Homo-oligomer: A and B are copies of this chain.
Amino acid sequence: VADPPSKLSEEQVRTRIKDLPGWHSKNGGLSRNFEFKDFIEAFGFMARVALLAEAQAHHPEWTNVYNRVEILLRTHEVDGLTDRDITLAAAISAIA
């Protein structure tokens, strides 16, 4: 098991978010809302994110209501954001 990653400072988070269009700070995490044509598209997206998340061993907190998906990323071990969240956010954006 790798060492826990280090927590990003508020300044680091602000800087990193600039490179992640659509993502914003929420409840100490990194959040983004996605909207799709219908449930099939929304769940198809979720299935792709699930595979990514499992491969990165870092998982989103997320809610789905029909064609909408809200994702919240954070790293529980540090009670904040780490590079893991930034990496996963960028990967999710790439497939959205």
This chain: copies in complex: 2
**Bound-complex Cα distance A44 to B50 (A):** 10
Number of A residues near B (Cβ < 8 Å) is: 16
Q: Choose among B39, B43, B47, B59 the residue that contacts A66 (Cβ–Cβ < 8 A).
A: B59
**Interface residue? A34 (CB, 8 A):** no
In residues 27-55 of chain A, which contact B (Cβ within 8 Å)? 39-40, 43, 46-47, 50, 53-54
Contacts A39-B50, A59-B65 aside, 13 further interface pairs with beta carbons under 8 A come to: A39-B53, A39-B54, A39-B59, A40-B54, A43-B47, A43-B54, A46-B46, A47-B47, A59-B66, A61-B63, A61-B65, A62-B64, A63-B64
